[in-house]
Amino acid sequence: MKRDIVLEQLKEAQFGLEQVLQNLPEDLEEQQCEQELEKLSNRIHRLGPINLAAIDEYEQQSERKVYLDSQNEDLEKALKTLQNAIRKIDKETRTRFKETFDKINTGLQSLFPRVFGGGQAYLDMTGDDLLDTGVAIMARPPGKRNSTIHLLSGGEKAMTAIALVFSIFHLNPSPFCMLDEVDAPLDDTNVGRYANLVKEMAENVQFIFITHNKITMEMANQLLGVTMHEAGVSRIVAVDIDEAAELAAI
């Protein structure tokens, strides 16, 4: 029976008995074969239970790996494209920011002496990287040696802000600009400078300003006032300066 079993196993393994006997070493002993079989048996035992579905699982995982590798490749290409776009945008942003900064700084240096009747002002970057740097404004009215804009009076700060805003308007004018009580902290001399500057800028920009100052009102083409003729009832009064001047001349 053992012989028949061995012959059957050889047949299933597609080996012939005579071929196996011819290939066996002449000095092979039974004890040596048993020791080798025992070693093989122990190694098989250490492998643990055999997963018969491992081949199918391997094929499934191989297909999934191919899919994930393809997705990863697409992501890497997209990331590379995005990084190139970011570098291009950063470069363009730095270039445009520097050009805009220089133009506004030049405009401020030109307008500030006109607004104050002298002195100097300029813009300064607080950082080295153009993408995240801050911008500081240095203003020195005539006769002052202040180290920071915070040491200026309220009127001087207002005039400095006017010079900065108008220098930006020179670069990129908007259709209209609203000024709310900008002349409130100014004296008559500075109000006159402010009014002349607004009148000059009015050739390109329509200004709407709220004011109680007579000097500022004098430069307006049209006036809109709020009056209370009756208690608790407000009325809007509109005056066309040119039309009023013609009526006064008659």
Quote the CA–CA distance of 174 and 182 in Å, as a whole number.
Answer: 18
Total residues found in the chain within this entry: 250
The continuous run of DSSP H or E covering 126 comes out as: none
Tokens of 183: 């002349």
Quote the CA–CA distance of 159 and 183 in Å, as a whole number.
Answer: 9
Write the pLDDT tens digit of every residue in 18-62.
777 777 777 777 788 788 888 988 888 887 777 778 888 888 999
Mean pLDDT score, 157-174: 85
Q: Which residue has the higher pLDDT, 14 or 197?
A: 197
DSSP 145-208: --SSGGGS-HHHHHHHHHHHHHHHHHHS--SEEEEESTTTT--HHHHHHHHHHHHHHTTTSEEE
**3-class secondary structure, 222:** strand
pLDDT at position 148 is 67
Q: What is this structure's pTM?
A: 0.62
Write the pLDDT tens digit of every residue in 194-211.
888 888 888 888 888 888
Q: List the one residue out of 202, 237, 205, 233 whose CA is nearest residue 220.
A: 202
pLDDT at position 147 is 59
Show the DSSP H helices in 48-124 as ranges: 54-116
Phi and psi at 161, nearest 5°, equal -65, -40
pLDDT at position 242 is 73
Domains in the chain, ordered, with CATH?
Answer: 64-170 (3.40.50.300)
Q: How far apart are the first and last CA of the chain?
A: 143
Of 10-24, 40-54, 117-131, minimum mean pLDDT range: 10-24
Residue 174 confidence (pLDDT) above 90: no
- To the nearest 10 degrees (0 to 180), the angle between helices 154-171 and 188-201 is 10
Quote the CA–CA distance of 178 and 206 in Å, as a whole number.
Answer: 9
pLDDT at position 140 is 86
pLDDT at position 5 is 82
Residue 80 confidence (pLDDT) above 90: yes
Residue 150 confidence (pLDDT) above 80: no
pLDDT at position 238 is 81
Mean pLDDT score, 149-167: 83
250 pLDDT band, cuts 50/70/90, is: low
Quote the CA–CA distance of 57 and 63 in Å, as a whole number.
Answer: 10
- Average pLDDT score, the chain: 84
Phi and psi at 240, nearest 5°, equal -90, 115
**3-class secondary structure, 14:** coil
